Amino acid sequence: MDCQKATIGLNTWRAKLWWRGHFRSVVIPQFKDTQPVKYTLEDSQSRRKALIQVKMDELTELLDKVKSKVQKRDKKNKKHFSLEWQLGMGRSTSALGATAFETPHNFKKGVGVCMSDILDSKRPKWQKELYAKAKELILLIDADFAKNDDFVVNFSCMCDALKHYCRRHVDNMDIEYQYATVLGDCTGGDLTVWNSDGTSQTKNYHRKVLKMDGRLPHQVEPFTGRRYCVIFYKLYDRRYTEASPIFEPACFV
């Protein structure tokens, strides 16, 4: 039946449906007397939270496939970190003029910023897939935070409760708060964050999004199982002229 020529008073609109992994465009009839569906802010937030859980599932599947044994941060002394593996990608910083760090930081003297596009880089496919999926997640959490791709995402894995740890430390190169979540089949591994007044709070952020400030002391509590941690943080943002004020206390978003 041609909806354009129908005499029963139908309007048409085109909708995209996800079907077997591909977007398919279909024509859906709509009666004239049908009232438009109204969505509330609560509906929108519920949909957003559901999509975040989907992205967490997809990210976990990718993390389960990682075979790396490389820990870059604190890899020699392991004073604060002992991990199965760790990987950071994004707007990282180093000494100005170092290879790939030719762009001067906008308010940190002598600091260079890596402005290369992760997805156009020579990184292996699995790293690009991790970054792309993580970007989908942070865009759902806070699109403004991800603007211009001026963020770093750090992935890490701990799977040996006797050998692996993340001790009390601060991320003193950060210029903004962080977003963090824990994925994987694990228990425990809560995060204790100390506030500027000396008080502390301990948060279970397994499959939850925790907004916290890495410039405040924090540590991971004992855990069991295979624990993945995904952290979004900022070392640079072209829109800033100085670091943002400390964000506290930590909270779920």
Q: pLDDT of 179-212, one tens digit each?
A: 999 999 999 999 999 999 999 999 999 999 999 9
Categorize the per-residue pLDDT at 6 as very low, low, confident or very high, splitting at 50, 70 and 90.
Answer: very low
Domains of the chain in start order, with CATH, are 1-37 (no CATH), 61-67+80-252 (2.60.120.10)
User: Cα dist. 138→17, 46, 199, 214 in Å?
Assistant: 23, 16, 29, 17
Query: Does 19 score more than 90 pLDDT?
Result: no
Taking only the tens place, the pLDDT of each residue in 21-50 is 444 443 434 444 545 556 577 788 899 999
> How large is the angle between the packed helices 125-141 and 41-64, nearest 10 degrees?
160
Query: Does 5 score more than 80 pLDDT?
Result: no
pLDDT in the model for residue 161: 96
**What is the chain's alpha carbon radius of gyration, rounded to the nearest angstrom?**
22
Give me the mean pLDDT over the 152-156 stretch.
98
